[in-house]
Amino acid sequence: MDRRTLLKLIGFGALETTFAVSFPSLVSAATGQEVQWGYGGERGSENWGNLSPEFQLCKTGIQQSPINLQGGIASELDAIEIDYKESPLRIFNNGHTIQVNYEPGSSIKLDGQTFNLLQFHFHDPSEHTIDKKPFDMELHLVHRNEAGALAVIGVLLKQGQHNAALQPIWDAFPTRNEPEQVVKTVKVNAEKLLPLERKVYRYFGSLTTPPCSQGVNWIVMQQPVELSQNQIQRFADLISIDARPLQPLNNRFVLRSM
């Protein structure tokens, strides 16, 4: 089977037609109120689908993320063209994670389409697992194309060497509930956060936070990136656990670069 037919078969062909997923929003369209959610207790991930009609897919969706990445169909996937530029550090703590908003002008090319980098953020522990193995943390780089479709690059982070590229971000961690801070003297380049080897897993899934919108193009790097125990601890001190449990694969296929 050629690559194009294979991509169509597993759903990536859907990208050739226009479709859109709603972008994460915490404000209910029905009530205009912000819907509070979290990772434990009554407002934890098991109950997200009950917190708001807008969060229904968290409960009923059958293409949800994260998943366990295991096996996968070995495929000759085109390299993802990455065109990231430096951005001044725009960082905030939304109570669920530390997020860095990215200056417009950085993008990736995926199956011939351009997706612009909007922001990146972190999860502790990792959300995706490989062969059921969780990692210490996970970085998500969120992109959107003109039609509104999302593509997220996931990078698994594991304890090891100090990560110099992450440190300026770690040094600027805001305490809870502060608005976005712009640290003009600090520039970040998201490309430095990626592993050297660019083999990936690809599948179609969802946002891993409410409203759990589906149709998200997931690209998870096979090679993890290291950060130090101190860096892991510093994030944990601020955010603690912010990872959604694994979701069933259901009728989906995972592609794996050879």
Q: How many CB atoms lie within 10 A of CB 34?
A: 10
Buried b (16+ CB within 10 A) or exposed e, 114-125: ebbbbbbbbbbb
Q: Taking a C-beta distance cutoff of 8 angstroms, is the pair 205, 214 a contact?
A: yes
According to DSSP, the β-strands at 68-69 and 129-130 are parallel
> CB of 49: closest distance to Zn ion in angstroms?
18
Indicate which single residue of 140, 143, 144, 256 sits in contact with Zn ion (rule: CB under 5 A).
140
Return the number of the residue (13 or 38) whose C-beta is nearest Zn ion. Answer: 38
Cβ-based nearer residue to Zn ion, 7 or 102:
102
As a whole number of angstroms, the distance between CA 150 and CA 100 comes to 17
Q: Which residue, 243 or 254, has its beta carbon nearer to Zn ion?
A: 243
Handedness of CA 247, 253, 255, 256 (dihedral sign): positive
Question: By C-alpha distance, which of 109, 92, 136, 83 is closest to 242?
Answer: 136
Of the candidates 224, 208, 225, 222, the one whose C-alpha atom is nearest the C-alpha of residue 255 is 222
Tell me the closest approach of the beta carbon of residue 157 to Zn ion, in angstroms.
Answer: 12
Q: Does 144 bind Zn ion (CB under 5 A)?
A: no
Look up residue 246 and give its two tokens. Answer: 């694994």
> Minimum Å distance from CB 143 to Zn ion?
12
Output 140 or 202, the one with its CB closest to Zn ion: 140
Taking the complex as a whole, the smallest distance from the CB of residue 5 to Zn ion amounts, in Å, to 31
Of 28-36, 64-72, 103-111, 133-141: span binding Zn ion (CB under 5 A)? 133-141
- Which of residues 75 and 102 has its CB atom nearest to Zn ion in the complex? 102
The distance of closest approach from Cβ of residue 97 to Zn ion in the complex, given in angstroms and rounded to an integer, is 7
Q: How many residues bind Zn ion (CB under 5 A)?
A: 1
User: Which positions lie near Zn ion, rule CB under 5 A?
Assistant: 140
